[in-house]
Homo-oligomer: A and B are copies of this chain.
Amino acid sequence: MFDHDEDLERFVEKIEEMIRNKQYAQLRDLFLPLEPADIAEALEEAGEEYMPLLYRLLPKEIAAEVFVELESDSQEMLINGFSNNELKEVLDELYLDDAVDIVEEMPASVVIRILDRATPEMRKSINEILKYPEDSAGSIMNMEFLSLKKDMTVADAFKRIRRIGGDMETINILYVTDPRRKLLGVLSVRDLLLADEDDLIEEIMDPNLVWATTMDDKEDVAQALNKYGFLALPIVDLESRLVGIVTVDDAMDVIEEATTEDFEKMAAMLPSDKPYLRTSVISTWKARLPWLMILMLSATFTGMILNHYENALAACLILNAYIPMLSGTGGNSGTQASVAVIRALSLDEVDFSDLLAVLWKELQVSFLCGACLASANFVKMLLIDRMLLGNAAVTLPVCLVVCLTIFFVVVFAKCVGCSLPLLAEKIGLDPAVMASPFISTIVDATSLLIYFQLASALLGI
């Protein structure tokens, strides 16, 4: 594997030199020992100019595996350059779920060409999978799997694996179905190997199995694979017939994609589906502007509050100096609680029914944090702001107002931060949006209100 990007760059330089010297046979040998994912990386790095040439140097079996690993831009570019025969060769080597992934990313004209060249069965299967909603288990399942019958012997099963196992994505996990394709049990190839040749499948299979339906959320299915440590999960249709499997590598991709989306949403960005450096400036701008705009405009409220208390501020301008600290501390406290709950939600550790338990926990934590921060700030204001920096306006009542505000703001921020994601989940919104930027905006306005209420009560302004 390429450990560092520098290795990759040096490798690509070598490739380009070989192309210039027309050393095609050596180039091919250079690729052979590499994994498909590494070859794809080298092709991407070599760029559009060399990619078609390099791709055509690859042996047919490897070519399809490399094709799957390329970015969709590159796949589209290659397909547009393929002859009909070349396209067919790639399609014939693809597993169904990979073919669907590719079709989903291509523009209509390319999709039509792909479906035109696919075998009738593949076309039928692709169409079937495309019917499932984008986030469903059905959309990521593979319909090519190996199923056994309960009255087969172990020897029969091995015969079946030898006959058709070469075309399947996995044979490590095998499902047993009845004549109407209902799931009866599961066994691993290890169970087969450790059994006697004439044992019946029925006797060695595990009749207790976990499955998901085609309409289940693909993230839930991926989390289930992770939780149970399975290599595959069977997917049944609404009539409980086995129609596909989701394998662990697909699950890992789903989790990685979902995590990236969570990060993006939590940082007030719309999700993008391409790697950072491959996303165009315009797409990045489009993903980032909407939330920046909404949050900027909603800061109008904080502005209105400050305007409202203009006279109070003019009377005691020192209060103004602590506003950024208060809103920062409030925002950070709220962010901590919201991110902790958002992560717990996506790992299925909590749900809405835990609202009270979560609130109670955050209330206790916020009392502790609030008290510590308020005390530290009290000492800091007296020692640094008043004594060291000699600011006479920092009187004891001012300290009291600031420190009490810290306490209340931390408590408020943590309670809002932990409940909003749970509420969002309950009403079907994405909890990840209830993160730092959103929480900070709410806490900003509230902390000003608390601040000025305390100030007018204690300082009489």
State which of B35, B231, B323 has its C-beta within 8 Å of the C-beta of A248: B231
**A130 in contact (CB, < 8 A):** no
**A244 in contact (CB, < 8 A):** no
Check A281/B365 contact, CB under 8 A, given A297-B376, A437-B335.
yes
Q: Which residue of B lies closest to A168 (CB)?
A: B190
**Smallest Cβ distance from A389 to chain B, in angstroms?**
8
**A307 in contact (CB, < 8 A):** yes
A4→B248 CA distance, assembly (Å): 23
Check A340/B277 contact, CB under 8 A, given A260-B347, A324-B299, A325-B299.
no
Chain A, range 298-356, C-beta contacts under 8 Å to B = 299-300, 302-304, 306-307, 310, 313-314, 317-318, 320-325, 327-329, 331-333, 335-336, 338-344, 347, 349-351, 353-354
**A243 in contact (CB, < 8 A):** no
Check A37/B227 contact, CB under 8 A, given A306-B320, A369-B288.
yes
**A391 in contact (CB, < 8 A):** yes
State which of B264, B291, B339 has its C-beta within 8 Å of the C-beta of A263: B339
Q: Report the contact-size class of chain A (Cβ under 8 Å from the partner).
A: 35 or more
B313 touches A268 (CB 8 A): no
A302 touches B325 (CB 8 A): yes
B300 touches A380 (CB 8 A): yes
Which DSSP category, helix, strand, loop or mixed, fits chain A's interface?
A: helix
**Smallest Cβ distance from A313 to chain B, in angstroms?**
7
**Smallest Cβ distance from A209 to chain B, in angstroms?**
9
**Smallest Cβ distance from A398 to chain B, in angstroms?**
12
B385 touches A332 (CB 8 A): no
Chain A, range 249-268, C-beta contacts under 8 Å to B = 249, 251-253, 255-256, 259-260, 262-264, 266-268
**A429 in contact (CB, < 8 A):** no
B368 touches A281 (CB 8 A): yes
Stretch in A53-61, A113-121, A157-165, A234-242 with 4+ CB within 8 Å of B = A157-165
Chain B residues within an 8 Å CB radius of A302: 324-325, 328
A224→B267 CA distance, assembly (Å): 27
Check A296/B329 contact, CB under 8 A, given A224-B1, A275-B347.
yes
**A285 in contact (CB, < 8 A):** yes
**Smallest Cβ distance from A108 to chain B, in angstroms?**
29
Q: Which residue of B lies closest to A374 (CB)?
A: B296
**Smallest Cβ distance from A321 to chain B, in angstroms?**
4
Chain B residues within an 8 Å CB radius of A341: 276
**A273 in contact (CB, < 8 A):** no
A314→B315 CA distance, assembly (Å): 10
A385→B260 CA distance, assembly (Å): 38
Chain B residues within an 8 Å CB radius of A406: 296
Chain B residues within an 8 Å CB radius of A289: 368-369, 372-373
A450→B124 CA distance, assembly (Å): 62
State which of B267, B291, B324 has its C-beta within 8 Å of the C-beta of A436: B267
**Smallest Cβ distance from A289 to chain B, in angstroms?**
6
Can you give 11 contacting A-B residue pairs, CB < 8 Å?
A1-B228, A172-B189, A231-B231, A248-B248, A260-B347, A267-B338, A267-B436, A295-B328, A296-B376, A302-B324, A307-B391
- A sample of 17 more A-B contacts (CB under 8 A), given A304-B389, A306-B321, A324-B444, is A35-B208, A37-B229, A165-B194, A189-B193, A226-B252, A248-B248, A267-B340, A267-B436, A276-B349, A281-B361, A292-B369, A293-B376, A300-B385, A303-B385, A304-B321, A310-B317, A310-B320
